Amino acid sequence: MTPDKKVKILATLGPAIKGIDDIRQLVEAGVNIFRLNFSHGEHADHALRYQWVREVERQLNYPIGILMDLQGPKLRVGRFAEGKVQLAKGQALRLDLDATPGNAQRVNLPHPEIIEALQPGMNLLLDDGRLRLQVTAKHADAIDTQVIAGGELSDRKGVNVPEAVLQLSPLTAKDRRDLAFGLELGVDWVALSFVQRPEDIIEARELIQGKAFLMAKIEKPSAVQYLEEIAQLCDAIMVARGDLGVEVPAENVPRIQKDIIRTCRQLGRPVVVATQMLESMRFSPAPTRAEVTDVATAVAEGTDAVMLSAETASGDYPLEAVQMMSKIIRQVENGPDYQAQLDVGRPQAEATASDAISCAIRRISSILPVAALVNYSESGASSLRASRERPKATILSLTPSLHTARRLSVAWGIYSVVNERLHQVEEVSSTALEIAQAQGLANKGDTVVITAGVPFGQPGSTNTLRIETLQ
C-alpha cells in the first residue's frame, strides 16, 4: 500500500458493499477511512461491516479508520389527514403542538423547542428547503406563518430553522444508544450531527470519554458562527454541505467551505468536505464535469479529505466512484501550482518546538529533493502539526499505537506504520530509513528527513530533526 496521494478519501458503507472483497477493492482504489451512517441500518449491519474493514486491515497490514456518523435530532412536521396538502404562496399555515392529523390550514409540529425559539419575521424551511414559511405570530403552543414559497407538503417532512439556536441537545436517545454500541464496537471516530454551539461538543466528549476521536459536522448557521470555538474543542471538522446548503443561501456555501478549511488548517484540525461530491455516480459510471471541478476545488483549497456518501453506500458504481475521486486528487496534486497554493495559505506557527520543527521540514522539503518525512509519534500530535504545514514530501508516521494510526487516516499527507517495538527503538535513523525503504517511499541515494522526540517515547516531546541519505 504505497501512498500515491495526500488528500484522503472517506467512503460510506451501505448495502452496495457486499463483503470483504468489496472493501479490499475500495481500499486498494484509494479509500483511507470508512463511514458507518447510523441514520440507516441496524446495529447488526454496522457490526458486520466493521468486521469486514478490520479483516481487510489485517490482510493488508494497513491501518484503516472507521467513523460512526450519528443521526442527530430529526425535526419533522406531523401527519396530514389526507397524507399531503398543497400550500399556496401567501396563504396562512399554523404549526402547533396538537397531534391531530393536519390539513391545509394547520399541522402538528411536535417540537416545543422550535416554537419557543422562533420569533415573528423568522423563516422556516420544509422538505429540504423546497417550501419556505415566515412566522407572523407566536403563541404558547403554536406559531402562525405565511407561505413564502409553496408546494406540496406531505407527512413527516423535515423542518429546518436557520435563524434560531434551539435549546436542543444534538444527541437524541437513539444517538446515545448508537454511540454506546459504536464505542463498544471500537470505532475510531464519532461524527456529531446538528452541532449548534461549543457546549454540544463538551456534552459529546463527556459521553465518549476518550474512547474515540470527535468530528463536528458543520451544517447549521450557528455552528458557522461559533466555528473557531467548536474546532478548538473537537478533533476534526466535517463540512456537511447537505443541510448547510439548505439552511444558508446556496451561493454562500463555497465561501463557507473555504473559511472552514482555512480555520481548520490554522488550528491543525483535519477537515473533511462532504455531500454530493460525485452524486451522479450513484447511477452513472462517469461524473459530471461540475462534480469533477467540485472535488478538485476542495483539494486545491487544502482539505484533508473528501467524502463519498450514497455513491459508495447505495450507488451502482461504488468502486468506479472511488477510482474517479482518486484520479481527480492525483491530477490536482500533480499540478504545477498545487504546492504554491498551499504555501500561500500556510498557517501561523505557534511558539513551540514541534511547530518550529514542522516549519523546518516544510522548508527543507521545498529546497532538497526529499523522498519522505519520517516522524516518530506516540499520540499522533506531531504528525498532525507536520500535516498542517502541507509539505511536498509524504509524511511517514511511525507509531507503536494502532489507535493513533487509525486516527491519522483522515489527515492530509500522513501514512502510518504501526510496530509495537517502536517503543524500544534505540537507533532512530537506521530504523526510519529501513521502514521508508520497505514502504516504497525511498530508495538508495534518496534524502529522508527524520523527526523524533528525545528521550524517545514521551508524547509531545518532538525536538529532534535529522537529514539522512539512504545508503
pLDDT tens digits, one per residue of 226-273: 999 999 999 999 999 999 999 999 999 999 999 999 999 999 999 999
Q: Which pLDDT belongs to residue 471?
A: 87
Q: Which pLDDT belongs to residue 224?
A: 97
pLDDT tens per residue across span 314-331: 999 999 999 999 999 999
Q: Is 217 a catalytic residue?
A: yes
- 1: pLDDT strictly greater than 90: no
Which cell numbers in the block locate residue 130? 423546497
Q: Which pLDDT belongs to residue 464?
A: 85
Catalytic residue among 76, 94, 258, 262: 76
Q: Which pLDDT belongs to residue 421?
A: 78
**Arithmetic mean of pLDDT, 398-423:** 93
- What does the alpha-carbon distance between residue 132 and residue 135 come to, in Å, rounded to a whole number? 10
- What does the alpha-carbon distance between residue 364 and residue 272 come to, in Å, rounded to a whole number? 28
Mean pLDDT of the chain: 95
Name the pLDDT band for 372 (thresholds 50, 70, 90).
very high
pLDDT tens per residue across span 183-202: 999 999 999 999 999 999 99
Residue 462 CA, distance from chain mean position: 27
Tell whether omega for the bond before 336 is within 30 degrees of 0, i.e. cis: no
- β-bridge pairing 123-126 and 159-160: antiparallel
Is 352 or 454 the better-scoring residue by pLDDT?
352
| Amino acid (one-letter) located at 369 | P
Q: What is the pTM of this model?
A: 0.94
- What does the alpha-carbon distance between residue 203 and residue 193 come to, in Å, rounded to a whole number? 13
- 455: pLDDT strictly greater than 80: no
Q: Which pLDDT belongs to residue 460?
A: 62
Contacts by 108-113, CB closer than 8 A, 24 or more apart: 108/77, 108/78, 108/79, 109/77, 109/78, 109/143, 109/159, 110/76, 110/78, 111/75, 111/159, 111/168, 112/141, 113/166, 113/167, 113/168
- 129: pLDDT strictly greater than 80: yes
Q: Which pLDDT belongs to residue 458?
A: 63
Give all domains of the chain, ordered by start, each with its CATH number.
Answer: 8-73+170-333 (3.20.20.60), 84-160 (2.40.33.10), 353-470 (3.40.1380.20)
Catalytic residue among 145, 263, 275, 451: 275
**Arithmetic mean of pLDDT, 339-355:** 89
- 121: pLDDT strictly greater than 90: yes
* Range with lowest mean pLDDT among 7-16, 94-103, 366-375, 426-435: 426-435
- β-bridge pairing 305-308 and 271-274: parallel
Q: Is 35 a catalytic residue?
A: yes
pLDDT tens per residue across span 403-413: 999 999 999 99
Which cell numbers in the block locate residue 279? 452524486
Q: Which pLDDT belongs to residue 258?
A: 97
Share of the chain above pLDDT 90, in %: 90
Do the beta carbons of residue 154 and residue 84 sit within 8 Å? yes
Catalytic residue among 5, 6, 35, 132: 35
Is 458 or 184 the better-scoring residue by pLDDT?
184
Name the pLDDT band for 393 (thresholds 50, 70, 90).
very high
